[in-house]
Structure 1
Amino acid sequence: MSDRLTMLREGPVASTLFKLSAPAIAGMVVIALYNVADTFFVSLLRDTTAVAATGIVFPMFQLAGAVGLTFGMGAASVISRRLGEGRHDKAHQAAATALYSAVVIGGLVSAAGAIGIRPLLLVFGATETVMEQAVLYGRIIIGGSVFLMVNMTTNNLLRSEGAALYSSMGQILGAVLNIALDPVFIFVFDMGITGAAVATVIAQACSTLFLLGFYFRQRGTLQPLNLRHVRLRLATYRDIMTLGLPTFVRQVLGSVSFAILNNAAATFGDAALAAISITFRMFMLLMMGLMGLAQGLQPLAGYNFGARQIDRVRHTIRIVFASAVTVGAVAGLGSYIFAEQIMLVFAPQDMDVVAMGILSIRYMALALIPVGLVIMFGGVFQALGDGRSALILAAGQQGVFLIPLVLILPYLFGLQGVFAAQPAGFVLAFLVGLLLLRFTWQKLDVAALEAGKSTDFAG
C-alpha cells in the first residue's frame, strides 16, 4: 500500500484532512484568482464596459470548467472508493476514461464556443455597449478553455489518490503566471482586454502541462495516460456520471441563473452589470476555497467509506461542517463591514458601481454560513456515492430556487431583488440539504452495522 493510501486509511483524521484540504483550498482559490486578476487589471483601463464584459464571460468560463469538473469529480469519487476496496483496476479505468473524455469533449466545446461567441454573449446578458469588449475577451477565453477542462479533470484525479500538494502546486503556478502576464499583455503590449484573455489561456496551458507531468513521470498510483485502461462502456460512464452529473447540473444551472441575473442587472445599466461582476468574483474566492475543503473531504471520506471505517467518515464530516460555519461567519462579518473598501479597489472611477456593489456584497454576506454548508453537503454526498442526493441539492440550489428567484425578486423589488436572489437561493438549498443529510446519516448507520462497528465516534 502506498504512503498516500496508508495516510487515508490510518492517519489522524484532522491532520490528514488538513494535508488534503490545505493544498486543495489553495488550488481552488488560485483558480478564482485567475478571474479576480483579470477583473482587477482590466479595471485599471478605467472602462466600466470592459469590467462588465469580463462578468458577462465569466458564467461561460464556469460552464466550460463544468465539463472538466464533471469528469474529474465523478471519477475521483469512484477512484477513492475503489482504492479503498482494493480494486485498483477499476480505479485505473475510471481515471483514464475521464481524462481522455475531457480532452476530446473539451476540444469540441472550445471550438464551438469560440465560433459561436456572439449569440452566446447575447444569451448571457451582453448589452450593445458591452458586446465588442466581451467578444474580444470571450473568443480567446472560451477558445482556449480546453486547457481549463483537462486541468480540472487532472486536478481531481491527483486529489483522489492523495496527491493534493502536487495538484495545488500546478494551480498556483498557473495563477502566478496569470498575475505576472496580465499587465504585460494588457499594458506593455497594449492589447487591452484581449491581453487579459491571452494571459489567462497561456497560464492555464502551463498549469495543465505541469499537472499531467505527474503522470508522464509515473509518480502516481493511477495510470490515466495509459490508453489500455480507457473503457468506452456504458457501465464505466454510468459510474463516473452518477457522481459527476450533479456537478455538471449545478454548474450549468449556475451559469444559466447568472445569465438571467446579468440580463436583470442590465436593465439597470452597465454599472449594475459591473457591480454584479465584481461581487460574484470576490465571493468566488470564498466559495472556491470551501470547494477545496470539500475536495479534501472526498478522498478521505470516500476511501474510508469504501473500507467501511465509518467512524473516520463521521469524524471527517463533523470537522468540515464546523469549519464551514466558522469561515462563513468570519467572512460574512468582514465583507459586510468592509464592502465599500472592497468595491473601491475594483471600481474607484465609478461611484455608481461602488454604491451598487456595496448593496450586493452585503446581501451576499448575510448568507455565507448557508453557502458554506451547502457546498459541504454536496461534497459529502459525492464522497459517499450518493448521486441522487447530490443531484437533488444541485438542481434545487441553482434551478428550482435560484432561477425563479432571479426572475421574480427583481420584478418585485427592483435592483435590490437582483442582488438578493442568489443569497436567498442558497438559504433555501441549505434547508433542503439538511433534510437530505438525515438520510445520509442513516446510510452511515447501516454501513457501520454491516461492518460490525459501533456507530458512536470514540475519539
Structure 2
Amino acid sequence: MQNQEIFKRPVWKAIFSMGIPSLISVLVMIIYNMADMYFIGFLNDYTQVAAVSLIMPVFSIMTAVSMLLGNGGCTLIAQALGAGEKKRARSYMSLCIWTAILLGVIIAGLIIVFSNPLLKFLGTNEEMWQYARNYMLILAVGSPAMLLNYAIACLVRGEGAIKPGLIANFVSTGMNILLDPVLILGVKMGVSGAALATVLSNVIGIVYLIWYKMHHEMILTFNPKPARESVRYLGRVFALGFPNAISNILNGFASTFSNQLLVLYGTSAVAAMAAAGKATMIVGLLQMGLCMGVQPLMAYYYGAGDMRRIKEVVMKLFILTLGIGVVFGAVGMLGSKALVGLFIRDLEVVELGQKIVYIQLLSAPFVGIYYIGQNFMQATGSALMATITSVLRQGVLLIPLLYIMNAIMKMMGIPTAHVMADFISIVVTSVLTVIIYKKVKNQLKQKREA
C-alpha cells in the first residue's frame, strides 16, 4: 500500500517524514491544551484556573487509556506490516477502535457515579468545588469521543498514514480554539464552556477521520467483526501500550499529590504551578512527540529484522531531541514571565510561576534520552522494561520525592522533586536501553542464522 512506502525511505528522510508531522501534532496539541486555560484567564478568576488544574489527573486517565490502545496498537500494526501480515494489522486496528469506545463508556459511568469522592481525593477545596465538578462531569460524558479520536490518530501512524492523523489534530484544535471564546466568554459558561468545547472538538475530529476513510484505501476499519475475532490479541496491545499509559496515569497521580501539597500554601500556589506547568510542558511534549512519531519506524524495522537501521534511528533521535531541549529550554527561561502571564493576570502569582519555570526547565535538554529509550523498548517488544522506566519516573521516584523535598524546601521543593526524578530516570533508562539493544541484536542475529 502507498502509506507503507514511508518505511522504506532513507533513515533521515523517514525520520523527518514521520517525526515532523508528529511534532506538528504535538504543537497543535499544546495549543489545544493551552486554549482552555488561556481563555479562562480572561475571566480574571484564578480560582477557575486552579479548578481546571485539579481536574487534569482525570483528563490524564482518559489520555492514558487512549495511549494504551493507540500506542500499543500502532506498534503491533507496524510490526505486522513489517512482517508482511496485512490481515493481522487490520485485526489490531479494529480491536483497538472498538475497545476504545467500550472503555470510554465505562470511564464515563465511573466518573459520574463517584464524582464527589473523586473531587475530594483530587484536593478540591470549597472555593473551587463547583467549578471543578462542572468541568469534570462534562469531560466524563465526552470521554468515549475523546478516547476514540486520540486512539485512531495514533493507530493510523502504524500503517504510515501520517496525513489523516495530523489533519484530525488540526481540525480538533481549530474547533476548540473557535469554540472556547464563544462558550467561555460569549455564552458565559466559564469552565463548563471549556469542557464542552473540548468534547465537541473531539467529535468533529472523529467525523473527519470517518470521512477520510470513506475516500481513501486504508487498513483503518470500523468493522467490528475483526475485533471480535482478535480479542486474544488485546493482552499484547495492552502490554505494549501500558508504558505510555502508566506514565500518564502516574503523572496524573503525581499532579494530585502535588496539588494536595500546594493547597496548603493557598489557591494561588495551585494556580502558579498550573500556569508554570503549561509554560514548560512544550519542551517535554515535543521530545516525546518526536520519539512517538518515529516509534512505528523502529517497530517496522524490528519486524523486518533490520537492527542496523534501528541503531541509526536511535542515534539521530538523540541529536534531534537534545537540540529541541536546549533551544526550547532556553526560550522558556528567557520568556518565562510572558509565558506564565498567558494564563494568570495576578502579578504576584506570575512571579511565583516564573520561579517554578526556572526550576522545571533544568532537565529539559536531557529528557529526550528518556523518551528515546522508552520508545525503543516498546518498538522492540520490551514492554516490561518500558513499563519499569515509566513507573520509576512518575511513581517510585517522583511521588516520594514530592513529600521529601516539600519537607526540606517547602513549596519550591515540589518542582525540584520533578527535576530530580527526571535526572535519575534518564540515567537508569540509558543503561537499560544499552542492555536491551545488545539483547535484541543477538536475538535477531540468531534468528537469521537459524
Please name the residue that 2:19 is paired with. 21
Cα distance between partner residues in 1 of 2:225 and 2:190: 45
Q: 1:262: which partner in 2?
A: 259
- CA deviations over 1:5-32 (Å, ceiling 9, x no partner): 2320x21111111111111222223223
Q: 1:71: Cα distance to partner?
A: 0.8
Code of the residue aligned with 1:230 in structure 2: it is A
Change (3 A) 1:207 1:431: same
Long gaps (5+) in structure 1: 454-459
| Matching of residues 84-99 of structure 1 within 5 Å | 84-99=82-97
- Corresponding residue for residue 391 of structure 1: 387
In the alignment, is residue 219 of structure 1 matched against residue 217 of structure 2? yes
The alpha-carbon deviation at position 118 of structure 1 amounts to 2.7
- Displacement of 1:372 in angstroms is 2.1
Do the aligned residues in 1 keep the contact of 2:6 with 2:17 (CA within 8 Å)?
no
For 1:252, the equivalent position in structure 2 comes to: 249
Paired residues for 1:180-195 under 5 Å: 180-195=178-193
The change in CA–CA distance for 1:421 and 1:212 in structure 2 (over 3 A counts) is farther
Deviates more, 1:13-22 or 1:333-342: 333-342
1:310 aligns with 2:310: no
**CA RMSD of the aligned region, Å?**
1.7
Aligned-partner residue type, residue 276 of structure 1: M
> In structure 2, how many angstroms separate the alpha carbons of the residues matched to 1:168 and 1:223?
15
Q: 1:113 aligns with which of 92, 111, 114?
A: 111
Distance 1:370 1:120 in 2: 35
Residues 345-356 of structure 1: matches in 2 within 5 Å?
345-348=342-345, 350-356=346-352
Do the aligned residues in 2 keep the contact of 1:26 with 1:172 (CA within 8 Å)? no
Q: Distance in 1 between matches of 2:280 and 2:210?
A: 29
Superposed displacement of residue 237, structure 1: 1.5
Of 140, 143, 152, the residue aligned with 2:141 is: 143
Deviation at 1:195, TM superposition (A): 1.2
Q: Match for 2:69 among 71, 87, 98?
A: 71
Q: What are the superposed Cα offsets for residues 22-73 of structure 1, whole Å, 9 maximum, x if unpaired? A: 1122222322322211011000000010110111111211111111110111
Q: Is the 8 A contact 1:305 1:313 kept in 2?
A: yes
The aligned counterpart of 2:425 is 429
Relative distance call for 1:104 and 1:159 in structure 2 (3 A) is same
CA contact (8 A) 2:94 2:221 kept: yes
Q: Give the alignment's TM-score, normalised by structure 1.
A: 0.94
In the alignment, the residues of structure 2 paired with residue 301 and residue 428 of structure 1 have an alpha-carbon distance, to the nearest angstrom, of 25
Q: Could you tell me how far apart the structure 1 residues matched to 2:285 and 2:206 are?
A: 18
Equivalent position of 1:281 in the other structure: 278
CA drift of 1:119 comes to 2.0
> Aligned equivalents of 1:38 and 1:157: distance in 2?
26
Contact 1:310–1:447 (Cα < 8 Å) also in 2: no
Tell me how far apart the structure 2 counterparts of residues 368 and 286 of structure 1 sit (CA, whole Å): 6
Closer/same/farther in 2, CA of residues 244 and 47 from structure 1, 3 Å limit: same
- Alpha-carbon offset, residue 218 of structure 1: 5.1
The answer as to whether partners of 1:297 and 1:317 remain within 8 angstroms in 2 is: no
Contact kept? 1:159, 1:295, Cα under 8 Å? no
**Structure 2 length-normalised TM:** 0.95
Please say if residues 41 and 183 of structure 1, whose CA atoms lie closer than 8 Å, have aligned partners that are also in contact: yes
SS in 2 for 1:385: coil
Percent of counterpart pairs with the same letter? 25
Letter of the 1:24 partner, please give it: S
Residues 95 and 231 in structure 2, CA contact (< 8 A), matched pair in contact too: no
Larger deviation, residues 118-127 vs 360-369 = 118-127
